[in-house]
Chain A
Amino acid sequence: NAGVTQTPKFQVLKTGQSMTLQCAQDMNHNSMYWYRQDPGMGLRLIYYSASEGTTDKGEVPNGYNVSRLNKREFSLRLESAAPSQTSVYFCASSGQGGGNTIYFGEGSWLTVV
């Protein structure tokens, strides 16, 4: 019963390094999302993909890129990591339409030093 799986779970980066967070879902969902969570800020949307082949910016897209590789997979890339990108990152997926439940992965803890 995997649901949404994201890797890695923990990562420490040096400023300027790049990395990719991987996410896969096995629920045949059309829509996928990347959020970041910071203390006192709730969850903020970085990018989302309403369907395979489309991506859109969310509230805080600067410094990130995404790829919807196929219907199952949606990756988030940090090209040149900055300390401000230290955060917990959550991948999520849902069916299309506003009333659908969004299902979350377990999170990826990223520290940029």
Chain B
Amino acid sequence: AQSVTQLGSHVSVSEGALVLLRCNYSSSVPPYLFWYVQYPNQGLQLLLKYTSAATLVKGINDFEAEFKKSETSFHLTKPSAHMSDAAEYFCAVSFASGNTPLVFGKGTRLSVIA
């Protein structure tokens, strides 16, 4: 069965510093991978997704993620953190075949310090 592990339930960075949120997946078939962001008291919105095209995926607000099959990873990065990036981030996995719903990681809360 597929699963997603997000390393670190809480990450804190200074404004202007690199953001790195880690995600590893477990899958026996090629996955589709997603990053979602949740701002306080809101629903989730898509940041970016990998669907077997380019391994480096660019999303909204200068976020990007790289699919590394050998490491079964899909880490999310942003070169320079902004205060408005403070939110909870979720990695998720699904598959091409059938209609298996997304499986989410437990989330990483990002704090940005001025």
Number of A-B contacts (CB under 8 A): 60
Given contacts A97-B99, A99-B96, contact A40 B106 (CB under 8 A): yes
A102 to B96, CA, bound (A): 14
A30 → B minimal CB distance (Å): 8
Please tell me if B90 contacts chain A, counting CB pairs below 8 Å. Answer: yes
Question: What is the interface size of chain A, counting residues whose CB is below 8 A from a CB of the partner?
Answer: 26
**A107 & B51 in contact (Cβ 8 Å cutoff):** no
Q: Mark A87-113, 1 if CB is under 8 A from B, else 0.
A: 000100000111101111111000000
Given contacts A42-B105, A45-B101, A97-B96, contact A107 B43 (CB under 8 A): yes
**B99 & A31 in contact (Cβ 8 Å cutoff):** yes
**A42 & B32 in contact (Cβ 8 Å cutoff):** no
Question: What is the interface size of chain B, counting residues whose CB is below 8 A from a CB of the partner?
Answer: 28
Please tell me if A50 contacts chain B, counting CB pairs below 8 Å. Answer: yes
Q: Among B51, B97, B102, B107, point to the contact of A102 (Cβ < 8 A).
A: B102
**B106 & A98 in contact (Cβ 8 Å cutoff):** no
Given contacts A40-B9, A104-B44, contact A98 B98 (CB under 8 A): yes
A108 to B45, CA, bound (A): 16
Chain B residues with CB below 8 A from A98, complex form: 32, 94-100
Please tell me if B61 contacts chain A, counting CB pairs below 8 Å. Answer: no
A78 → B minimal CB distance (Å): 20
Q: Mark B77-114, 1 if CB is under 8 A from A, else 0.
A: 00000000000001000111111111111110000000
With CB as the reference atom, state the residue of chain B lying closest to A91.
Answer: B43
Please tell me if B46 contacts chain A, counting CB pairs below 8 Å. Answer: yes
With CB as the reference atom, state the residue of chain A lying closest to B6.
Answer: A42
A111 → B minimal CB distance (Å): 15
Footprint of A on B, CB under 8 Å? 9, 32, 34, 36, 41-46, 49, 51-52, 90, 94-107
